[in-house]
Amino acid sequence: AQSVSQHNHHVILSEAASLELGCNYSYGGTVNLFWYVQYPGQHLQLLLKYFSGDPLVKGIKGFEAEFIKSKFSFNLRKPSVQWSDTAEYFCAVNPSGTYKYIFGTGTRLKVLA
């Protein structure tokens, strides 16, 4: 069955620290990949997406993600986090040509001021 794994369930960082959140998926075909963010009390918002082309994708608020096909991974990175990045982050996989998104269980990030 298709699945998405986010190995870090809770991450605590100090401001200005670098961030990397892992995302691995199990699906053999072509996929579209997404990172969504949910700030406290708010709805899920699209952070960035990968469809094709350059495997290094840049999103909003200084986030980026790299698609490594051989590792079935799409890790999220930010060089220097801010207190306002405190949120829950979800990786999602969409097998190309389909409409379903398969979400990971999320990673709760807390950034200490």
DSSP characters over 28-62: SS-EEEEEEEE-TTS--EEEEEE-SS-SEEE-GGG
* Phi, psi values for residue 61, rounded to 5°: 60, 30
Closest approach, Cβ 104 to other proteins, in A, equals 5
Contacting positions for other proteins (CB under 8 A): 4, 32, 34, 36, 42-46, 49, 51, 90, 92, 94-106
Closest approach, Cβ 111 to other proteins, in A, equals 21
Closest approach, Cβ 12 to other proteins, in A, equals 17
What is the Cα–Cα distance from 58 to 15, expressed in whole angstroms? 21
Q: Which is nearer to other proteins, 70 or 100 (CB)?
A: 100
